[in-house]
Amino acid sequence: MFLNITGGTKKERALVESIAVFSGYYLMTDKTADKLEIDIELMGNLYKECGNLADVVYEDNNFRPKEYTLRVDKTFTLRRMLESVAHEMVHISQFATGRWVELENTKTTRFDGKEYKKMPKYWDRPWEIEAHGREVGLFLQWVDKEGLQKKPWTWDDLDKYKEAYE
């Protein structure tokens, strides 16, 4: 996996690189992850501009793309920024493995073999259900792997998850 990270501080870029690599290799085979090129932009105004904490687009073809641009808003907490990167890495794995395909010129989306001509509401989209469901788990596993449990920023808003994690 080749990452090019711009914006943010040196510490933010290092943490983003670490969680992106961890998530990518956790979610995909080494063979698939090794082929990916991801430009990651740490931005200060994405939420104000688009209403998104983060987003990702593929830059090459629509079937099993290998080149992506991932943008993340760095104005929220460090934990939230890193969870957002994990969320977008779930989407990258969905695209890279061919589970999620945007069918060009048809305004149709295919996910896990089912076609969606009419887009469900955001929270009902199966690709979003999966990404939201996995972002915290990926983050917590990465925190464990990196030995970051004692860093105060890793426990932001975690009271609601502590029982499940312990």
Domains of the chain: residue spans and CATH: 2-149 (3.40.390)
Q: Is 21 exposed, middle or buried (CB count within 10 Å of its CB: 0-12, 13-18, 19+)?
A: middle
Q: From 60, 46, 152, select the one nearest 102 (Cα to Cα).
A: 60
Separation between Cα atoms, residue 27 and residue 4, nearest integer Å = 20
The reported pLDDT for the residue numbered 117 is 92
Is-contact 70 54, C-beta < 8 A?
yes
Separation between Cα atoms, residue 4 and residue 13, nearest integer Å = 10
Tokens standing for residue 56 = 């990702």
- Coil, strand or helix at 112: coil
* Per-residue pLDDT tens listing for the chain (166 residues): 999 999 999 999 999 999 999 999 999 999 999 999 999 999 999 999 999 999 999 999 889 999 999 999 999 999 999 999 999 999 999 999 999 999 887 889 999 999 999 999 999 999 999 999 999 999 999 999 999 998 888 886 555 444 444 4
Other beta carbons within 10 angstroms of residue 10's beta carbon come to 7
